Amino acid sequence: MFNLLLAIIYLAFISLGLPDALLGAAWPTMYLEFGVAVSYAGVVSMIIALGTILSSLQSDRLTKKLGTGRVTALSVLLTAIALYGFSMSDSFWMLCLWAIPYGLGAGSVDASINNFVALNYASSHMSWLHCFWGVGASLGPAILGYVLTNEGTWNNGYFYIAVFQFILTAILFLSLPLWKDKKGEDASDTAPTQNLSLREILALPGAKASMITFLCYCGIEATTGLWASSYLFLYKNIPEDTAATYASLFFIGITVGRAIGGFVTMKFTDDQMIKYGISIILIGVMALLIPLGTTLSVIGFVLIGLGCAPIYPAIIHSTPDYFGADKSQAVIGVQMASAYVGTMLMPPIFGLIANHIHVALLPIFLVLLLGLMYVMHNQKMQFKVKSYSETI
């Protein structure tokens, strides 16, 4: 039964990934239809991220009260309603309105499931879990590209994905009896936890460095995911439908990297996986900076995706090692919040750069975030309370 639950969790992460890349892939068409500046994509992503931050900070309290299973089911339901709202939107302000429930639905489920897997499964499963997010994130632009080609409207792409989310919601509610720990007990009731305030969490050794690391990582991932298509369209002069397809290769890189990473984690530690990922991202960014045509740029985005692959799951899975299983849910909630601060701030900041200077500065922006992430991760590595993962 525990393995059946793992399959359902994988399915839930596909659903989390499906809408994440849609906005960036659809935006070259959407902003013209709505008559707004190209930088307004950052406004929508900022609203989504703000909702995610708020719900992430409440994830510890919600999970203790409702359990991981109920939090997951209710959050996916809220996301499905929001995506249906996106599909019916005919103005920019409606997108902004529906971005609110989308963000609120995404935050709690992300933090709750990540903590559940970190406590109950090995590092390889965490990598494969986020691989399935990449499956969803890769399918989203592919579905949108197909819909744009055959139906000529981005709205239907959001509608089809909303339908999938509603179906998943029903599956999640039916699966509630499965959400137990390995001893067959409700994990939210039996896992050792501490009620910590935000100030107490921030006072933990290494907490601030971990939060900034996560902020930088998600800033890199979100900025690349949102602006890759526009970079290829506006700077490399690739047709917008082809640019959307090429941009999806970034998410395919994440997906393939996490599928392979699940096996690699059996040999290397979480901290080693993070450092390898940072190195590969740097190579990908350098490929974007070399002016040798569009092919190398596309390869660069694939490499950035491959480099991103191990970082998120490795940071999450190592959280009990650094802060203890009794504090992991609270810390992961704050990590998720800081991650979405990066998601909220970095894409619109680069949007302003693209609007007022040039979208060609994308690789420079990414390398600055990467450097800060490297420094903060090294600082965090000074602290580790125990090797909790060895007991999984």
**pTM flag (> 0.85):** no
Chain centroid to Cα 181, Å, comes to: 25
The Cα–Cα gap between 317 and 322 comes to 10
Phi, psi dihedrals of residue 186, rounded to the nearest 5°: -60, 115
The Cα–Cα gap between 68 and 23 comes to 28
Are the C-beta atoms of residues 59 and 111 closer than 8 Å to each other? yes
Non-local (6+) Cβ contacts of 141 within 8 A are 21, 22, 24, 25, 244, 245, 247, 248, 251
Nearest 5°: the CA angle 268, 214, 42 is 135
- pLDDT for residue 180: 64
- pLDDT for residue 390: 44
Burial pattern 54-63, b for ≥16 Cβ within 10 A else e, equals bbbbbbbebb
The Cα–Cα gap between 305 and 279 comes to 12
Are the C-beta atoms of residues 216 and 366 closer than 8 Å to each other? no
Question: Which domains, from first to last, does the chain contain?
Answer: 2-391 (1.20.1250.20)
* Cα atoms found within 13 Å of the Cα of residue 136, Cβ hemisphere only: 20
pLDDT tier, 59 (very low <50, low <70, confident <90, very high otherwise): confident
Non-local (6+) Cβ contacts of 358 within 8 A are 235
Helices (H), 121-206: 123-150, 155-174, 187-190, 198-203
For the ranges 2-6, 32-36, 66-70, 211-215, the lowest mean pLDDT is seen at 2-6
How far, CA to CA in Å, does 91 sit from each of 30, 95, 300? 9, 7, 34
Helix (H, G, I), strand (E, B) or coil at 125: helix
**Per-residue DSSP letters for 269-288?**
-HHHHHHHHHHHHHHHHHHH
Beta bridge partner(s), residue 180: 186
- pLDDT for residue 372: 94
* Rounded mean pLDDT, 171-189: 67
Q: pLDDT tens digits for 263-314?
A: 888 888 888 889 999 999 999 999 988 877 788 888 889 999 999 988 988 8
Are the C-beta atoms of residues 380 and 207 closer than 8 Å to each other? no
DSSP letter assigned to residue 360: G
The Cα–Cα gap between 50 and 151 comes to 32
The Cα–Cα gap between 188 and 225 comes to 33
Beta bridge partner(s), residue 172: none
pLDDT tier, 243 (very low <50, low <70, confident <90, very high otherwise): confident
Q: pLDDT tens digits for 105-146?
A: 877 777 778 778 877 777 788 888 878 877 787 788 788 888
The Cα–Cα gap between 188 and 35 comes to 47
Chain centroid to Cα 242, Å, comes to: 24
* Packing angle, helices 362-380 and 270-289, rounded to 10: 160
Token pair 């890759």 is found at 228
**Which amino acid belongs to residue 29?**
T
Q: pLDDT tens digits for 149-175?
A: 887 788 888 898 899 889 989 998 998
